[in-house]
Structure 1
Amino acid sequence: MVKTCALGRPRHLVKPVSATRVAGRYLTHQRGLPGLPVPPLQQTCERYITALEPIVEADELTHTRRVIQEFQKAGGVGEQLQRGLEKRAGETENWLSQWWVQVAYLDYRMPVVVHSSPGLVLPRMDFRDKDGQIRFASKLIAGVLYFKTMIDNETLPVEYLGGKPLCMNQYYEVLSSCRIPGLKRDSVVNHAKSSQPPKHITVVHNFQFFQLDVYNRDGTPLTADQLCVQLEKICRASQETNTEPVGILTTQHRDVWGKSYLNLIKDKTNKESVSAIQRSIFTLCLDGPTPGAAGELYRSCAAVQMLHGGGTQSYSGNRWFDKTLQFIVGEDGTCGANYEHAPAEGPPIVALIDHVVEYTRKPETAKSPAGSLPVPRRLLFNITPEIKQDIEEAKLSMNTLAQDLDMRVKVFGHFGKNVPKAHKMSPDAFIQIALQLAYYRKYRRCCATYESASLRMFRLGRTDTIRSASNASASFVKTFDDPSKQNLEKLDLMEKAVKAHRSYTNMAISGQAIDRHLLGLKLQAAEEKLSVPAIFRDPAYAKALHYHLSTSQVPSKTDCVMCFGPVVPDGYGFCYNPMEDHINFAVSSFNSCKETDAGDLAGAVEEALLDLKRLLEQTPRSKL
């Protein structure tokens, strides 16, 4: 059974490093971080071949070896591009980050919904009515504002990984920012850095948008009590549900939305309303109850609500998906977030949310000052027949996408991080090996697998790829169900697979993985106006980037799980949060693909995890 509310013991809130502003601290910290390295060309070429071995056929590999030999030969195009990249690294803060945001997000034209923006499902909160929803939402807003004070004052504690300080830039990008649609390429604006930073949030209720000022005239944030009063006003003013859901436009294909957007903001009122949403600190979406969300299915229904809103019959129109951060609070205690991926990765978002969840459980201390508060401003939209037509088209495509996505959230309750840790294994590697086994059992082959690795040890670092399908994992999964093999041999291969994953992870977080380097070489060729080198036209490269498994570990103090859609039509999205004694994981696939089934894979992963544990317990340890 799914636990519906327990959040575990309250932990201490994040403590600012100082009670007052520490001007310049952020810049000083950032300057102290190393720049992202450009790995040696030969090293990447060798590692690329090794990464291809478990996922491509032998004859393809022979061809690719020849292509790579040609690419990296002395005085060849590879060396020329490598020199160009090294020069770029010397002239920029981070040779990759700007390119990455453009290529991975802003140039990507599929809808951000499902295809790019993740959802985050929090445990069910202990309210079941409008009053409880408003009270909880008020504390949530107050919690975000408390966290925002640490960002504004530059007193947010620096995070560390393996004793090394991490880049904190992403924390400065998530509030008061928004994606703006373009006709061929989008952009991101961050109003926190403007001369007049915003003092309001956007609240959406019954598809109607409101600007809610969250600071008093003296600059202090509104208390939870004051916010309660304001949210009640918004809910009273938006009881009608027959409003055109303008927010549904943000679910469209980016080129289509780019065109509709220009049409929408031709009108002065519309332009002002859209600008108020874009400038706001974040968006709060107040949803009604979710029908059919009970028992085992509860978290899967909640994941759908966070990821895309459930279609036009539910809450897909009660969003502005271009907004970097949207908190979603349902009347039935369903709660979570959706975030637009361009400015940040999951971990900083989760850290902020962990903090906010803790804050909501703290007793309110601040007394509300007397005096009436201004009525929150309704954001008006003039709907022309053309805009109405755009909305109708967006509804149709959103419903098609909602019906196509199959989302399963599992709470694997048999064990958590405790088991792999007791056997001196990395929990992340253990789960990834279980996923490899589950996939192999289902398809009898290994596939290109993406796991995101953080590059935050470097200034403005984003991510690189951990390729979880290795020669070691392939040997292990092919042997595991072979009755002629002894457990000792299986255990030995499992240990090698776990070690290989750990080793690739360390390589990736230290800037020595292959994927971003190869991408950089490809983009450098475009920069130098060269034709696309043969290595990138090779079918093996396309196969290496066709991730049937797109995965991410997003650990959290809160008992939550993040979810996202598959990145290819015939693939899976797999996100997991290993807790001490259980593992939350979300699996997604598309119903339109007959070969994939999210429920099947979730069951296969559960079985694989139990089988790995059995192998560990039944086999005497071999010498490592």
Structure 2
Amino acid sequence: MAEAHQAVAFQFTVTPEGLDFQLSREAVRHLYLATVHSWKKRLVRTKNSFLSGVYPASPSSWMVALVATAGSCYCHVDPSLGLIARIQSCLPHGQALSPRARAVVSTVVFSTGAWLAAVLLFRRLLRLLLSYHGWMFEPHGHMSRSTRLWMALMKLMSIRKPLLYSFQSSLPKLPVPPVKATVARYLESVRPLLDDDKYREMAALAKDFQENTAPRLQRYLRLKSWWTTNYVSDWWEEYIYLRGRSPLMVNSNYYAMDFLYVTPSPIQAARAANTVHSILLYRRRLDRGEIPPMMALGVVPMCSYQSERMFNTTRIPGKETDTLLHLADSKHLAVYHKGRYYKVWLYYGGQLLPPADLEMQFQRILEDPSPPQPGEERLAALTAGERVPWAEARARFFSRGPNKVALDAIERAAFFLALDEDEHGQEPERPGCMDAYAKSLLHGRCYDRWFDKSFTLVVYKNGKVGANAEHSWADAPIVGHLWEFMLATDKFQLGYTEGGHCKGDPRWQLAPPQRLQWDIPPEGVAAIEASLRVARALAEDVDFCCFPFSTFGKGLIKRCRTSPDAFIQIALQLAHFRDKGSFCLTYEASMTRLFREGRTETVRSCTAEATAFVRCMAEPRGTRSERQRLFKVQVWAQFGLSLGSVWGAGLGCRFRVSVWGVSSGCR
């Protein structure tokens, strides 16, 4: 307990002689360093906000403008055409400002105004350039003169190294597609699924919607698009995700796997320490804006808005709708092991804990022999069950006392870490191991993952890792960027000793992880068990077959001058038809991050071209040449669908569905 007492800055006791006050200098020092670290973080964020706000200009360009203006005035050349003199005449006269001082101030004011005007002009030009979409429709290997000119201008405008959010305010808004085009594309998407009679009935309903209901709703939609940065993303987040009352587990959350054939360290605590430290390094770069934005073709930026809530974020249950709790910063980690919850501090003296210190802390948790408290072991089943019972239990049993303090420690953590008791991974000699690995990451035991956190990092007993991510705050590519950074940093930058431990020496004076305390009444335990029954029924209903496919990959598909995405989509259509003997409405997600705050859009890959190819494949008398021809037609149609999902019907592409579209035409 000596280390724990050192963490207390001061303590006082009442004695017969009076008040006995004791001050810990070491604790005060750490409080001072933590305060300095917090203010440094705020200053960095303020600086990055300014740099992103004036991009593609820079503060040095303001100095250039100021020096150039002052030099011109010194040479008796007025670049302001009289504006400097007019500004000078408006300044107060008196002893406070001499004529020379007024001349300097007026020069600075004019230079700053001219520089800001140039910044606004360049940002407007950048937005116009980003609104160009012709590059997406260029034939492979050929580029038009207009696209070459556009790329040259984009490279010139982006000559400065951008920060993560440098392009945010310059990204174009998502256009609102016309209702007529939406209805026409909807009918086109359902035509392969309906016979003639049902299609005529659907066409009549669509026409009635287009003529009577849609015009008024479309006006509201356009009005919203004028005063919001993205007219659909907030509705998408709320109605597709946050208002869902079914379990997040399996239905919404997704997972990420480790290296299949490489395990950097078989020691659980060491692998957990390196992965956690790598993730925190990514968070630090994210806070500082040092991660460059994703760029298509190296010149077209994608929206980085979704990255803002990657850390320090939790989905809070509600009776009608959930909410997202996001904190600007969090200095601790929530850890689960063998039914017990811990709070692990990530900083010491204002500095991020190195991997050796984290390994020591995680090893202390693994060696802790204490049993779970009543109701503690299966507590996370509440996050795996339906949302309304969880919201009611949270308000009833976790809104006060030690339960609220412990729950806050989990919900306000940077992210959640589960030190799993099982061993998983790819083992060629063990059939079905990948199925068990995937199911473990997807739902685990239904009570050992905190499904409400932005993501749960899972570290298995044999050193394998994985993640389970909540979907409402962002889409899978955002977590994918983090995951790639973590795997590369863990393996190639941090590394391990020959014995598999983290490099460096731990500081044994660190206070041990804090065990979270719970006081869950019998009624709360009953609510936990009820949610667990629902979650287990859902998990047992999942049949999962996961295996590595090494026969060929996207390289071979591309050498055949075919889109890998289109290849997979037509393969799914063919497999489904051979299995079921019919087609179904197919949803493929495609991101719209080329627009500000864009998320995903719907691609309907079950097209007339796809069904024609599948029927030809099913026809015994179909010829090879005819199948090849139909396959090429389908591939180009699928390519057009993907482009349409990105750019929208307002720009002349296919299958961008209006929010007000016919209900079965939207997700």
Q: Same fold (TM over 0.5)?
A: yes
Corresponding residue to 1:119 among 234, 255, 258: 255
The residue that corresponds to 2:363 in the other structure is: 232
Deviation at 1:216, TM superposition (A): 1.8
Structure 2 residue runs of 5 or longer lacking an equivalent are: 1-43, 53-163, 496-502
Q: Which residue of 1 aligns with 2:295?
A: 160
For 1:33, the equivalent position in structure 2 comes to 171
Larger Rg computed on CA atoms = 2
Match of 2:509 among 372, 379, 392: 372
Give the aligned residue type for 2:323. S
In the TM superposition, residue 227 of structure 1 has moved relative to its aligned partner by 0.4
Q: What is the alpha-carbon distance in structure 1 between the residues aligned to residue 401 and residue 482 of structure 2?
A: 35
Q: Which residue of 2 aligns with 1:249?
A: 382
> 1:64 is matched with which residue: 180, 198, 202?
202
**1:179 aligned residue (298, 301, 315):** 315
Gaps of 5+ in 1: 1-19, 523-534, 547-624
Whose helix proportion is higher, 1 or 2? 2
Tell me how far apart the structure 1 counterparts of residues 655 and 232 of structure 2 sit (CA, whole Å). 11
Which residue identity is paired with 1:32?
S
Native 8 Å contact 1:142 1:224 kept in 2:
yes
Instruction: Report SS of the residue matched to 1:374.
Output: coil
Higher relative contact order by CA 8 Å / sep ≥ 6: 1 or 2? 1
Choose 155-164 or 220-229, whichever is displaced more: 155-164
For residues 369 and 654 of structure 2, what CA distance do their matches in structure 1 show? 52
- Structure-2 change in CA distance of 1:57 and 1:207 (3 Å): farther
Q: Distance in 2 between matches of 1:286 and 1:36?
A: 42
Report deviation, 1:521: 1.5
User: TM-score scaled by structure 2?
Assistant: 0.71
Q: Which aligned pairs between 1:383-394 and structure 2 lie closer than 5 A?
A: 383-394=520-531
State the shift of 1:296 in Å: 3.4
Partner of 1:222: 353
Shift of 1:161: 2.4
Distance 1:180 1:216 in 2: 29
Q: Deviations over 1:261-319 (max 9, x none)?
A: 1122133111111111111111111101248985331211111000000x3xxxx2222
The match for 1:281 is 414
Does the CA-based 8 Å contact 1:124-1:333 persist in structure 2? no
* Identical columns (%): 29
Where 1:433 maps in the other structure, the secondary structure is helix
Aligned partners of 2:172 and 2:595 also within 8 Å = yes
- What is the Cα deviation at residue 367 of structure 1? 4.8
1:189 aligns with 2:325: yes
AA in 1 matched with 2:357: Q
Q: Shift of the alpha carbon at 1:83? A: 1.6
**Structure 1 505/293 Cα, relative in aligned 2: closer, same or farther at 3 Å?**
closer
2:440 is the counterpart of 1:305: yes
Alignment of 1:143-542 (within 5 A): 143-162=278-297, 163-192=299-328, 197-218=329-350, 220-237=351-368, 240=371, 243-290=376-423, 294=427, 295-309=430-444, 311=445, 316-364=446-494, 367=504, 370=507, 372-512=509-649, 517-518=657-658, 520-521=659-660, 535-536=662-663, 541=664
- SS of corresponding position for 1:361: helix
Q: Residue 660 of structure 2: SS of its match in structure 1?
A: helix
**Paired residues of 1:127 and 1:133 also in contact (CA < 8 A):** no
1:122 and 1:37 map into 2 onto residues whose CA distance is 39
**Number of corresponding residues:** 495
Which residue identity is paired with 1:79? P
Q: Letter of the aligned partner of 1:283 in structure 2?
A: F
TM-score normalised over the length of structure 1: 0.76
Q: How far off is 1:159 after superposition?
A: 0.3
Q: Secondary structure at the match of 1:476?
A: helix
Residue in structure 2 matched with residue 561 of structure 1 by the alignment: none
Give CA deviations for 1:8-67 in whole Å, capped at 9, x if unaligned: xxxxxxxxxxxx875113554210111111112211111111001112222111011112
AA at the equivalent of 1:53: R
CA–CA distance in structure 2, aligned partners of residues 298 and 72 of structure 1: 52
In structure 1, give the amino acid aligned to 2:388.
D
Q: 1:134 is paired with a residue of what secondary structure?
A: helix
Conserved in 1, the CA contact under 8 Å of 2:426 and 2:433? yes
Aligned-pair RMSD on alpha carbons?
2.2
Give the partner amino acid of 2:635: V
Distance, in Å, in 2 between the alignment partners of 1:238 and 1:153 is 40
Deviates further, 459-468 or 392-401? 392-401
